[in-house]
């Protein structure tokens, strides 16, 4: 059939217009307030094109209060710098918060917030892909004020740096007039498509008739089915008999957490895996994806690990289905970043509760199932031949001092490493091992923003010059759960490509 080219042409027209429309990004700011200094914040911008011009602006949402109105004019300062602290540009723009003057705003209830859009740079080319934006808002001495000039600080609810790609030439016209460009492009391709169709209907049959024969359509080339690969070896046969519970946050559509990668590795090796997540929908979606991998199986048991009652419900539900639990993987976790002066107390408690305390809670509640698994393996000369396994997912931030302000996260992971060792000493005589995998940079949702903005910087600090892969973390967990890891307990396996042992004075070859 010859009906597809016109349709393809119109799709191409839409694709061209869509790709030409201005692309923008937004980097949220978390303002800090210091004594004698206006509100300020630093943010790493998304990965940039080195030669593409951008329009840079600042979007603010401020409370509609008399204090902000009476502040008068304030100055917005934007400094763009590289990660090595080389200044690219510094821009200062005045602004003022004014109350709404429209009749509609007056008739309606008084607004609680006011939005400000401050244009700072136009058609600016960064010349580098990694940029840090430093923003400062507030009044300066010796200013002539428009309002009463009361106070020096601007109260801000939310702030973000916004960048919009500024196309040039035809792409610039398309960017500024997308609807008109779409109509023109679609019409042009429609005319071309109709002309092509007209040629096929009226001209091509005449040529074919004069040629005195039919066109031959070749057979479609279909690849033979891929050969079935069956893994033979102790690991797979060993895991086929094991049940595993994973405390993990799942994500629909992609395996973007370490827990999901570990679960996938176990399922591929024949294990029956239980996964848990706060979202029942996401938990079921991930289980469906893992079940499609086979030959093992995955069962979703959604639960909110922050709550003791939910942990108890999860273990009760598991106990109804299984008489023994061979491998417990504690992976659920969260993080929080804030300056030491602004770190909220409730955030610190939340991080330590999920990352550390609930690991102990879940492990404690699962002890009867773990002990039953150890008993199933039997004893030989007073020792358990096949211990049950506890695998805790830690972090290299628990081994070293991070160079960023994640105080609760690093403390929770350091505590988790010690808790794992303590459990190993206490539970070893009962046939239960406890080990930790201290992970470095991996392609996860938690690391996504940093890797997108500073991937080259991160790779420079990893002696093996790459980011961790799913096979790395899944293989390590399978090792600990297999016969090869039966004599390992109390260990903290650093899985970071050499990040913590890096020698800055030795350049990479």
Active site residues: 409
Alpha-carbon span 81 to 99, nearest angstrom: 35
Residue with tokens 């010349």: 127
Q: Are strands 37-44 and 32-34 parallel, antiparallel or unpaired?
A: antiparallel
Neighbours of 208 (CB within 10 A): 12
Tokens of 429: 């005589």
Helix (H) or strand (E) holding 297: strand 297-300
Structure letter (DSSP) for residue 359: H
Tokens of 265: 């590795």
Tokens of 245: 């519970």
HSE, CB side, 13 Å, CA atoms: give it for residue 405. 10
Structure letter (DSSP) for residue 376: H
CB 310 within 8 A of CB 332: no
Alpha-carbon span 151 to 190, nearest angstrom: 62
CB 41 within 8 A of CB 77: no
Residue 442 forms beta bridges with which residues? 468
Tokens of 269: 């090796």
Residues 120-130 as b or e (16 or more Cβ within 10 Å = b):
bbeebebeebb
Q: Which residues make Cβ contacts (< 8 Å) with residue 243, sequence separation at least 6?
A: 271, 272, 273, 274, 322, 324, 325, 326, 327, 373
Q: Are strands 297-300 and 272-276 parallel, antiparallel or unpaired?
A: parallel
Backbone angles phi, psi at 390, to 5 degrees: -115, 125
Alpha-carbon span 427 to 57, nearest angstrom: 58
Residue 76 forms beta bridges with which residues? 93, 137
């Amino acid at each position: 059939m010859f009906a597809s080219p016109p349709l393809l042409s119109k799709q191409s027209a839409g694709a061209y217009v869509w790709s030409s429309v201005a692309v923008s990004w937004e980097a949220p700011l978390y303002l800090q307030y210091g004594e004698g200094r206006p509100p300020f914040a630093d943010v790493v911008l998304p990965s940039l094109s080195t030669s593409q011009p951008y329009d840079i602006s600042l979007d603010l949402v401020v409370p509609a209060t008399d204090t902000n109105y009476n502040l008068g004019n304030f100055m917005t300062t934007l400094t763009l710098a590289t990660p090595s602290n080389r200044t690219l540009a510094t821009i200062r723009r005045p602004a003022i918060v004014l109350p709404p003057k429209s009749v509609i705003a007056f008739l309606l209830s008084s607004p609680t917030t006011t939005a400000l859009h401050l244009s700072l740079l136009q058609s600016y080319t960064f010349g580098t892909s990694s940029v840090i934006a430093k923003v400062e808002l507030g009044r300066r001495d010796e200013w002539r004020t428009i309002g009463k000039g009361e106070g020096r600080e601007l109260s801000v609810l939310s702030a973000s740096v916004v960048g919009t790609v500024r196309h040039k030439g035809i792409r610039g016209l398309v960017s500024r007039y997308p609807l008109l460009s779409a109509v023109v492009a679609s019409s042009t391709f429609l005319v071309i498509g109709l002309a092509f169709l007209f040629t096929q209907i009226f001209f091509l049959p005449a040529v074919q008739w004069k040629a005195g024969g039919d066109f031959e359509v070749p057979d479609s080339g279909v690849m033979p089915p891929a050969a079935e690969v069956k893994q033979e070896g102790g690991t797979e046969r060993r895991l086929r008999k094991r049940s595993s519970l994973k405390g993990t946050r799942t994500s629909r559509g992609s395996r973007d957490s370490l827990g999901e990668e570990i679960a996938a590795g176990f399922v591929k090796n024949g294990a029956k895996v239980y996964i848990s997540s706060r979202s029942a929908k996401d938990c079921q979606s991930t289980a469906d994806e893992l079940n499609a991998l086979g030959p093992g199986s995955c069962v979703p048991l959604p639960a909110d690990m922050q709550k003791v009652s939910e942990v108890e419900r999860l273990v009760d539900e598991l106990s109804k289905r299984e008489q023994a639990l061979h491998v417990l993987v504690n992976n659920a976790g969260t993080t929080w970043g804030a300056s030491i002066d602004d770190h909220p107390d409730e955030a610190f408690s939340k991080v330590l509760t999920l990352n550390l305390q609930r690991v102990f809670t879940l492990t404690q509640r699962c002890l009867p199932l773990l002990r039953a698994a150890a008993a199933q393996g039997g004893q030989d000369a007073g020792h358990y031949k096949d211990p049950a396994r506890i695998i805790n997912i830690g972090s290299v931030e628990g081994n070293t001092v991070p160079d960023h302000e994640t105080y609760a996260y690093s403390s929770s992971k350091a505590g988790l490493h010690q808790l794992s060792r303590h459990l190993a000493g206490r539970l070893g005589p009962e046939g239960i091992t406890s080990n930790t995998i201290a992970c470095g940079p991996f392609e996860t949702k938690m690391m996504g923003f940093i890797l997108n903005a500073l991937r080259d910087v991160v790779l420079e600090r990893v002696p093996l010059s790459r980011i961790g892969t799913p096979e790395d973390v899944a293989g390590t967990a399978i090792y600990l759960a297999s016969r090869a890891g039966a004599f390992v307990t109390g260990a903290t396996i650093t899985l970071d490509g050499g990040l913590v042992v890096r020698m800055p004075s030795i350049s990479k070859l």
